[in-house]
Amino acid sequence: MFGLADVNSFYASCEALFRPDLRGKPVVVLSNNDGCVIARSAGAKMLGIKMGAPWFQIKTQDYPERVHVFSSNYALYHSMSQRVMTALEEMTPKVEQYSIDEMFLDLTGIDGCENLEHFGRRLRAHVLATTGLTVGVGMGPSKTLAKSAQWASKEWKQFRGVLALTPGNPKRTETLLLNQPVEEIWGVGRRIGKRLNLMGIENALQLARAHPALIRKNFGVVLERTVRELNGESCIPLEELPPAKQQIVSSRSFGERITTKVAMQEALCQYATRAAEKLRKERQFCRHVGVFIRTSPHAKDEVFYGNSAGEKLSRPTQDTRDVIEVAMRSLDRIWLEGRRYMTAGIMLDDFTPHGVSQLNLFDDDQPKKNSAQLMKVLDGINQSGLGNLWFARQGVNNEWNMKRELLSPAWTTNWKDIPLAKVY
């Protein structure tokens, strides 16, 4: 048996966690640069606020109740995610983190000791007591059925956040699948859902009863696997160790359009630094570095421009300085003056687990001395919370940095933002 634990309205719940005055109130979280809604509390949903709604439209609306709006606080969300995952691992050691707020659980053998839904409620209580956040729990003989059960536990309040689909109760599974729209199935989505609708398949039960060979012929092996999973056949194993990344991209839209090459160099230097940190965290070396820059395709009276460039490295590296050097050379080849750039980014790929390569006899591009030791010190200081080191080319006062005018405190990661409790 598999379980799936998912935090309810994760981003919005994190914002309300340290603000008791916001419990039950409409809360929304905005995307980068305070663009549009990416998370809503139950109260915000009741007001009719849609996912993806632009902030400039919401703030002009007259709602019957005040809507509390926040910029994305990634430091807070990451910290709370780690706490939730730790709490789940304390109850079910064999797990697979699927996203920032979801984790698959291996429930093998638990049904022989205790009722699965009773265990699910204990799991919810443990996470709530440990983190203050509420999770929904779905359980089933396959990952896809566990995901469907978790979807149903949120849709229908009578389950109180926990639902188990067991082989011993096929009627419950059929009823759930009959009421689950096909586009809500894990791995289907709107695009494939529309194609299935044209074939007369509108709910999960109809897809489960479709012939696997027909589905494979028209959609491929991935959707065939979904059909088998809906019938209780486990085809997707639990991955305790996440697969190695094939690419790392560091990119952000700018808070203010970039018009000078110096500002673009500062931005790419920051992104290169972040990408190299992620590379070292993955314990990988890259053999290719790429850069891309783009203007806005929607800007009036402006011609869109987007371009990319990169270099194949003679030797694999995880040194930030190497990435920055390639990024600066690549930018020289694609930079155009007189444009207002909206976004840029760094791409690292062609990974290898070691930094050894066969050099040409006449190649004078030797590895930088003490590179590994320097990067270890750099990461150690920056991740300790005791200080921060950066490359001079990153600049100091960057007006193009991401806009987060409604940012909440970093309650769990910054000493200055730790909440104070007043006793009267």
DSSP 372-413: HHHHHHHHHHHHHTS-----GGG-S--TTSPP-TTPPP-TTT
Predicted local distance difference test score (pLDDT) of residue 81: 95
> Are the C-beta atoms of residues 140 and 1 closer than 8 Å to each other?
yes
Residue 330 burial (CB count, 10 A): 22
Instruction: Answer yes or no: is pLDDT of 155 > 60.
Output: yes
Query: Which are the contacts of 77, defined by CB distance < 8 A and separation ≥ 6?
Result: 10, 11, 14, 100
Give pLDDT tens digits for 225-266. Answer: 999 999 999 999 988 777 777 899 998 888 889 999 999 999
> What burial letters (b/e) apply to 22-37, b meaning 16+ CB within 10 Å?
beebbbbbbbbbbebb
Predicted local distance difference test score (pLDDT) of residue 69: 93
How far apart, in whole angstroms, are the C-alpha atoms of residue 81 and residue 404? 21
pLDDT higher for 360 or 133? Answer: 133
> Are the C-beta atoms of residues 3 and 146 closer than 8 Å to each other?
yes
- Confidence category of residue 159, pLDDT binned at 50, 70, 90: confident
Q: Which of 315, 251, 321 is nearest to 288 (CA)?
A: 315
Once rounded to an integer, what is the mean pLDDT over residues 154-168?
Answer: 89
Lowest mean pLDDT among 178-187, 329-338, 412-421: 412-421
> For the purposes of burial, counting CB atoms within 10 Å of the CB of 265, is it exposed (0-12), middle (13-18) or buried (19 or more)?
buried
Instruction: Answer yes or no: is pLDDT of 363 > 60.
Output: no
Instruction: Answer yes or no: is pLDDT of 357 > 70.
Output: no
- Confidence category of residue 355, pLDDT binned at 50, 70, 90: low
How far apart, in whole angstroms, are the C-alpha atoms of residue 349 and residue 343? 20
Predicted local distance difference test score (pLDDT) of residue 368: 79
Looking at residue 39, its amino acid is A
pLDDT higher for 243 or 296? Answer: 296
Q: Which of 103, 177, 98 is nearest to 135 (CA)?
A: 103
Q: Position of tokens 């053999």?
A: 287
How far apart, in whole angstroms, are the C-alpha atoms of residue 412 and residue 351? 34
The mean pLDDT value of the chain amounts to 89
Predicted local distance difference test score (pLDDT) of residue 266: 92
* Percentage of residues of the chain with pLDDT beyond 70: 96
Highest mean pLDDT (candidates 156-165, 380-389, 393-402) = 156-165
* Percentage of residues of the chain with pLDDT beyond 90: 58
Once rounded to an integer, what is the mean pLDDT over residues 62-84?
Answer: 92
**Maximum CA extent, the chain:** 76
- Confidence category of residue 307, pLDDT binned at 50, 70, 90: very high
Instruction: Answer yes or no: is pLDDT of 422 > 90.
Output: no
Query: Which are the contacts of 202, defined by CB distance < 8 A and separation ≥ 6?
Result: 181, 182, 196
How far apart, in whole angstroms, are the C-alpha atoms of residue 76 and residue 14? 7
Instruction: Answer yes or no: is pLDDT of 44 > 70.
Output: yes
Residue 318 burial (CB count, 10 A): 23
Q: Position of tokens 């110096």?
A: 262
- Confidence category of residue 125, pLDDT binned at 50, 70, 90: very high
- Confidence category of residue 385, pLDDT binned at 50, 70, 90: low
- Confidence category of residue 82, pLDDT binned at 50, 70, 90: very high
